[in-house]
Amino acid sequence: MKRGTPKPKTPKGVTPVAARIYHNQWIADCPDCGNAEFVWIEEPRFMCSECFNGAIGGAWRPVEIPNDRADIEAALGARPLPKTRNWQSSPRTWG
Ligand SMILES: [Zn+2]
């Protein structure tokens, strides 16, 4: 039996948000209002607590997690101060 929250359908054409690291935390920025939310790597979907993704009818947005996440985390982990552990990808386009 599969556990967890059911994944609501995301409408086609919805732009995903890119995960980035800010002060040692994976976060993503809302493309509609600029708010940021923590990202759960195990559940890479995004719901803004400010605008509730109203621009796309309240649907979840997918979150892009970089394929080389482990390498990024390892590289940043070598930095002694968590506030210096920051990373972001260039904007990507969802096909
Ligand atoms: Zn928002």
- For residue 11, the model assigns a pLDDT of 78
Q: How far is the CA of 40 from the centre of ligand 1 (A)?
A: 17
Q: How far is the CA of 33 from the centre of ligand 1 (A)?
A: 4
Q: How far is the CA of 9 from the centre of ligand 1 (A)?
A: 19
- For residue 61, the model assigns a pLDDT of 95
Concatenate the DSSP letters of all residues of 49-83 into one string.
Answer: TTTTTGGGTTPPEEEEPPTTHHHHHHHHHTSSSGG
Q: How far is the CA of 22 from the centre of ligand 1 (A)?
A: 18
- For residue 90, the model assigns a pLDDT of 67
- For residue 4, the model assigns a pLDDT of 72
- Say if residues 21 and 27 touch (Cβ distance below 8 Å): yes
- For residue 10, the model assigns a pLDDT of 77
- For residue 94, the model assigns a pLDDT of 31
Ranges of the chain with pLDDT below 70: 1-2, 5-8, 90-95
